[in-house]
Structure 1
Amino acid sequence: MTKLIYCVLLCHFIAAFSALGMPLFLPMVLPTLGAHIDANWAGALFILPTFCTALAARFWGQFADKYGRRRSLLRAQLGLAAGFALCGLADNLAMFVFGLIIQGTFGGTMAASNSYLSSQIKDAKTLGASLNKTQLSARLALIIAPIGLGWSLSETSPLSAYLWLSVLPLIAMAITLTLPADTTARPNAQGQEKGRRQDNKSASLRSLYWVFVAQFCFAFAMVITFPYFSPFVQQFGVTNQAWVGFLYALPHGVYLVFTGKAQSFSEWLNHHHKLSTLLLGFGLLSLGTLMHLIPYQEVLIMARILFGLGMVCCYQGLHQALADQIDRQQSGKIFSRFDAMSKWGGVAAGLSASFISSLGWLEVLFLLSSLVSACTAIALLIHSKFGHRHVKHSIISN
C-alpha cells in the first residue's frame, strides 16, 4: 500500500510540475504569439484553466464513479499532456487559448489522484494523511517548478518549454498504468433497493456541504493575497526580488516542513472538539494576514510563518473531515466537487484581487482575507453546535 501511495504522489508531482510552473511565465509567452494584450487579459488567461477545471469537475466526478478512478486519473494526465502540446505547437493566440481550455477541461489531476487513493485506502486515518501528502506534492511543485523553469527558459523559448513539459504527464500515465485498477459499483437490479441507495448517497453528499463551503472560503482567503504580494511588500521598502520571492514562498516551505508532523498534533487537538484543527487553521490565517499590515519586515516574516501554519491546519482539518465521512462509492463525485470549490474560490479571489488592486487598495486584499477567515471560523463553530444537536435529536427520534 505504501508503494502505491508514493507512486500516485510521484505521478501527481510530475503533473503538477507542468501545471503549476508555466502560468507564472505567461507574460513571456504572449509576445511570442504576436499578442498585444494588456496585463488584465494576461490575468484572465492565468485563471482560464482553473475556471475550465471547475466547470468540468461535476462531469468528471460522475465519470470516475461510473467507469473507474484509475481510468479517470489516466484521462486527467492525458488531458494535461494534450493541452500542453497544443500550447507548445501554437503559432497564434487563438490556438494557445484553445490549449489552455483543453488543459483545464480535461485535466484535474488533484481530484483524480485523491479519488483513486480513496478507492484503494480503506482506513480513514491513512486516507487523511495521504490527502495531505497530495497537497505536499503540489506545494513542492509550486516551489521547484518556477525555479527550474526560470532557469530552463533562459536556454529555450517559452512555447518550446510547453512542448517539452507535455512529456511529463505522459510519464505519469505510464506509471499509473502499472497501478491496480479500482472496482466500480455494479447497478442493482431491484428498483426499490436502487432508490434507497441513491437516497443514502444524496444524504452522504449533503453531509459534506459544509466541507465544500469551508474549502471555498479557505481557497479564497489564501489565493486573494497571492497575485499582488510583490507590489504590496515593495510598499514597505522591500526591493530585492530574491527576498520578495523568499517571502512569497515561505508559507509553502512551512507547509512542507510541518505537514508530515501535523497528524499526531491534529489527533490530540481534535480529542475534545472534532473541528479544532480547522478552527485553529482559520484563526491562524486570519491573524497572519492581518499582521501583514504592520510595516516591519520582522513582523512580515512572522506573518508569513503564521500563514503557512494556518495552511497546514486547514488542509489537515479539511482532509480528515473528508476521510471520516466519505462514501467510497461516490468518491469521484465528492473529490471533484471538493477540488471544484477550491478552483471556484481561486477564480473568485483572482477576480476580486484584480478589481481591488485597480483601485490601488492593496491593503484591502489582506483585510478581506482576514475577514473571510474569521467569518468562516465563526460559521464552523455555529455549524458544529447545530450539527451536534441535530444528530442528538435524530438519535432520540429513532
Structure 2
Amino acid sequence: MTKLIYCVLLSHFIAAFAALGMPLFLPMVLPTLDANITSDWAGVLFILPTFCTAVAARFWGQFADKYGRRRSLLRAQLGLAAGFALCGLADNLSMFVFGLIVQGTFGGTMAASNSYLSSQINDAKTLGKSLNKTQLSARLALIIAPIGLGWSLSETNPLNAYLWLSALPLFALVITLTLPIDDLTRSKGIIKDQASNKAQCSQANSLNTLYWVFGAQFSFAFAMVVTFPYFSPYVQQYGVTNQAWVGFLYALPHGVYLLFAGKVHLFSEWIDRHQLERNQAQRTLWLGFGLLSLGAAMHLTPYQEVLIIARIVFGLGMVCCYHGLHQALANQIDQRQSGKVFSRFDAMSKWGGVAAGLSASFISSLGWLEVPFILSMLVSGIAAIALIIHPKFGHQHVKDSIISK
C-alpha cells in the first residue's frame, strides 16, 4: 500500500510541476505570440485553465465512478500533456488559448489522484494522511517549479518549455499504468443489489453531509488565493524591495506546509485523547480558519518582522485547514461516489480561486492593495464562525443519518 501511495504522489508531483510552474511565466509567453493584449487579459488567461477544470469537474467525477478512478487519472494526465503540447506548438494567440482550455478541461490531476487513492485505501485516518500528502506534493511543485523553470526559461523560448513539459504528464501516465486497477465490480454489485429508492436516498444523503465541507473548501481557497496575485507590490510599498526577499516571503507559507503537514496528525491524536472524536476535523478547521484570519490581519501591520510572523501563521492556518478538510472527507466519504466527491471538492477549490483572482484583480485596479488581506481575514473569520454554529458538521451528521434509517 505504501508503494502505491508514493507512486501516486510521484505521478501527481510530476504533473503538478508542469501545471503549476508555467502560469507564472505567462507575461513572457504572450509577446512571443505577437499578442497585443493588456496585462488584465493576461490575468484572465492565468485563471482560464482553473475555470475550465471547475466547469468540467462534475462530468469527470461521474466518469470516474462509472468507468474507473485509475482510468480517470490516466485521462487527466493525458489531457494535461495534450494541453501543454498544443500550447507549445501554438503560433498564434487563438491556438494558445485553445491549449489552455484543453489543459483545464481534460486535466484535473488533483481530483483524479485523490479519487484513486480513496478507491484503494479503506482506513479513514490513512486516507486523510494520504490526501494531505497530495497537497504536500503540490506545494513542493509550487516552490520548485518556478525556480527550475525560471532558470531554464532564460535559455529557451517559453513556448518550447511548454512543449518539453508536455512529456512530464506522459511520464506520470507510465507510472500510473503500473498501479492496480480499482475494482468497479464490487461497487456496481452493491449498487445493483441496493437499487431501491432507499439506497438512492442514502447516496444522496452521503453527498448532502459533505456540502459544509465543500463550502469550507471554497472559503479556504478564496481566503488563501486572494492574497497571492498582488503580494509583491503590496509588500514593496512597505519597503521590501529585494526580489529574492519578496520571493522568500511569498513562498514561506508553502514552506511551513511542507514542514508541518506530516506532523499535523499528532495534533489530531491529541484531540482524540482529550475531546470527542467526532469533533476532530471540526476543531482542526476552527483552528485553521482562525489562524488564517489572524495571519491575514497581521499583514496589515507595516513592519517586516511582523510580516515574517504573519506568513508563518498563515502557513500554519493552511496546514490545519487542509488537514481538517481532508479528514472530514475521509471520515464521511462513500467509496461508490469518490469520483463525484473529489471532483466537487476540487471544483469548489477552483471556483474559490477564480473568485479570488477576479476580486484581487478588480481591487488592485482601484489601488487598494491592502483590501485582499482584509477580505481574507473576513472570509476566514466568517467560515470559522459558520462551522462553530453548524450543529451537524462531521460525524454527528452521519450518525443522525444512520439513526434516521
Instruction: Give TM class, smaller chain.
Output: over 0.9
Q: Which amino acid aligns with 2:360?
A: A
The 5 Å alignment of 1:132-281 reads: 132-184=132-184, 185-186=187-188, 193-269=195-271, 271-272=274-275, 273-274=279-280, 275-281=282-288
Instruction: Sort the Cα spacing of 1:3 and 1:43 in 2 relative to 1 into closer, same or farther, 3 A.
Output: same
Contact 1:188 1:194 in 2 (8 A): no
Indicate the RMSD between aligned Cα atoms, in angstroms: 1.8
1:86 and 2:86 matched? yes
Normalised to the residue count of structure 2, the TM-score between the two structures is 0.95
The aligned residue for residue 8 of structure 2 is 8
The aligned residue for residue 294 of structure 1 is 301
Match of 2:381 among 374, 379, 384: 374
2:262 is paired with a residue whose SS is helix
1:108, 1:339 → 2: CA distance?
8
1:346 and 2:353 matched? yes
The 5 Å alignment of 1:44-123 reads: 44-123=44-123
2:138 is paired with a residue whose SS is helix
Q: Which amino acid aligns with 2:362?
A: F
2:390 is paired with a residue whose SS is helix
Show CA shifts across 1:198-235 (max 9, x none): 22111100000000000000000000000000000001
Would you say how many aligned residue pairs link Structure 1 and Structure 2? 398
Show CA shifts across 1:36-58 (max 9, x none): 11010000000000000000000
Unaligned ranges ≥5, structure 1: none
2:395, 2:125 → 1: CA distance?
22
Normalised to the residue count of structure 1, the TM-score between the two structures is 0.97
Instruction: Sort the Cα spacing of 1:192 and 1:326 in 2 relative to 1 into closer, same or farther, 3 A.
Output: closer
Between stretches 176-185 and 4-13, larger displacement belongs to 176-185
Instruction: Sort the Cα spacing of 1:189 and 1:74 in 2 relative to 1 into closer, same or farther, 3 A.
Output: closer
Instruction: Sort the Cα spacing of 1:241 and 1:188 in 2 relative to 1 into closer, same or farther, 3 A.
Output: closer
2:192, 2:140 → 1: CA distance?
48
The aligned residue for residue 319 of structure 1 is 326
Q: Which amino acid aligns with 1:3?
A: K
Show CA shifts across 1:130-156 (max 9, x none): 000000000000000000000000111
Show CA shifts across 1:267-317 (max 9, x none): 323552331111000000000000000010000000000000000000000
Contact 2:387 2:393 in 1 (8 A): no
Q: Which amino acid aligns with 2:242?
A: N
Show CA shifts across 1:216-270 (max 9, x none): 0000000000000000000100000000000000000000000001111123235
Contact 2:65 2:338 in 1 (8 A): yes
Unaligned ranges ≥5, structure 2: none
Q: How much has 1:186 moved relative to structure 2?
A: 2.0
1:396, 1:328 → 2: CA distance?
21
